[in-house]
Amino acid sequence: MIRPAYRSLRVNLAWMMVGTVWNGFCQWAMLVVLAKLGAIETVGAYTLGLAIATPILMFSCLNLRPIFVTDQQEVFRFHEYFALRLGMMVVSVVAATAAGILERDRPELVFFIAAITVAKALDYLSDMFYALLQREESMRAIALSMILKGTLGLGAMAVAVVARGSLSSIGVALVIASGLVLVFFDVPVSLNLLQLKFVSALRECARQTKAMLRNRRRATRRLWELAWSGAPLGLVVMLVSLNLNIPRYFMERSFGMREQGIFSSILNLMAAGSVAVGALGQSVTPRLAKYFASGDSAAFRRLVWLLTGISVSLGVGGFLAAALFGRQILTLAYRPEFATHQDVFIWLMAASGALYLGSMMGVAVTAARCFAPQLPLFALSAVTTTVACFLLIPSMGMRGAAAAIFISSVVQSVGGALLLRYACRRIAAVAA
């Protein structure tokens, strides 16, 4: 395989920032389109479907992309990563559909949960091609795919809402959008990067499949080894997803689709800061890791303090915006009836500050290769959210759900600070 010339790190980071921010904006805009043009109950069903499907998918993906990117010795081959991802995506579709059947007896909701899981599963298949592109440092191609995927998904959502307005049509539209980007952009661009022809790639895929089938026992063992290595990271990202989705489950159970839809719509406004924090975290992780590996504790601490200041500033800015202009923001973004829940908006923006701070600390802890202790922290955070929702939502409604997220975010932030202190001690040991 001929590697391309290494691209400027700043250019790659700029492309990733643009792609991530635009895709995140489109995901939020889909909800805005649905809230503006559809019924609030449909918004509730849409967000509930996502809340059921996303944690299952997050675990099923096993976070294979970073494992592949960092597998410089090629202990496992790409076709093994892809085969495991494909198999896990099939399992996730079945599991999410079964969860939908247990949750509700509405056939349309069950169909939508299955469809949205298929759409997201296609996105996760694209994610494996992103891993291939990322290892070759072709961030521009990844960003363009994310931009195209977000734009096409938003357009498909708008057409489906205007034409039919049903959950089924929305689910089918999103499946088509994700499938088109996968087939007509991600696959051809990846093959072109590797200087492979489509026919020869199919032949190679067939050859690898036959080889795996001839030696099924060895192939199965290797896939199990790969799945086992990805399981801890899969659990972490699943718990992160669950932490924000648990209040939605309680809201739907206690107050129905309409209230759950309003709450989820307000909750999604936290995504604006989360996208910026996530993009910034991806950008600084290599630099933090370099400082840690070299034992440069002073530079490590300076950058961590900078990240802390940015995350706190984002949280304070969001809180002030919600307190001063919450009604106008909710009316402009959604509908006038959302503006009556400004207090919920304020609670969630207060929670966002702690959440952003915890996320930035998590970036620093990950850069210090402190992986295992993060799993108990996120498990504790999820348990805290569940207990708080159980105690607060029945009596306080949306405010109780927002308060539960705030409490959980504080737990995550404090836990992240303790882990960061441990990581700083490790960097001091490296320096010594």
What would the pLDDT profile of 167-184 be if each residue is shown by its tens digit?
889 999 999 999 999 999
CA 409 to chain centre: 17
Residue 210 pLDDT class (50, 70, 90 cuts): low
When pLDDT is cut at 50, 70 and 90, the band that residue 13 belongs to is confident
Q: Which two tokens stand for residue 292?
A: 């840690």
**Could you give the CA distance from residue 157 to residue 136 in angstroms, rounded to a whole number?**
33
Both structure tokens of 284: 């600084």
Q: Is 296 left (phi over 0), alpha (psi -120 to 50) or beta?
A: beta
The residue type at 312? V
Does pTM surpass 0.85? no
Over range 204-228, report the average pLDDT: 71
Quickly state the pLDDT bin for 2 (edges 50, 70, 90): very low
Lookup: tokens for 357: 């701070």
Mean pLDDT of the chain: 83
pLDDT score of 365: 81
CA angle 349, 353, 358 (to 5 degrees): 135
Range from 112-121, 261-270, 288-297, 375-384 carrying the lowest mean pLDDT: 288-297
Tell me the pLDDT tens digit for each residue of 119-165: 999 999 998 888 888 777 777 888 899 999 999 999 999 999 888 77
- Specify burial of residue 165 (Cβ count, 10 A radius: 0-12, 13-18, 19+): middle
Query: Please, which pLDDT band fits residue 292 given cuts at 50, 70 and 90?
Result: confident
